Amino acid sequence: MQEHEKVFQDYLATKGLKLTRTRALILNTVFDMHEHFDVEALYDKIKTLTDSISRATVYRCIPLLKDANLIQQSMRTSSRDSFEHIFGHPRHIHWICSKCGTIVETDYEELTPILNRSAKRIKFAMGELKLNIYGLCWKCQSSENENQ
Number of residues in contact with DNA under rule CB under 7 A? 24
When the beta carbons of 13 and 134 are compared against its own copies, the nearer one is: 134
Distance of CA 74 to the CA centre of its chain: 5
Q: Rule CB under 5 A: is residue 99 a binding residue for Zn ion?
A: yes
For residues 43 and 26, what is the distance between their CA atoms, to the nearest angstrom? 9
Q: Rule CB under 8 A: is residue 90 a binding residue for its own copies?
A: no
Partner touching 100 among its own copies, Zn ion, Mn ion, none, CB below 5 to 8 Å by kind: Zn ion
For residues 42 and 98, what is the distance between their CA atoms, to the nearest angstrom? 23
Q: Rule CB under 5 A: is residue 103 a binding residue for Zn ion?
A: no
Inter-CA distances, 51 with 2, 47, 48, 106, Å: 24, 6, 7, 38
For 131-142, letters b (16+ CB in 10 Å) and e give eeeeebbeeeee
Q: Rule CB under 7 A: is residue 21 a binding residue for DNA?
A: yes
Q: Rule CB under 8 A: is residue 124 a binding residue for its own copies?
A: yes
Q: Which residues bind DNA (CB under 7 A)?
A: 12, 16-18, 20-23, 38-40, 52-57, 59-62, 79-81
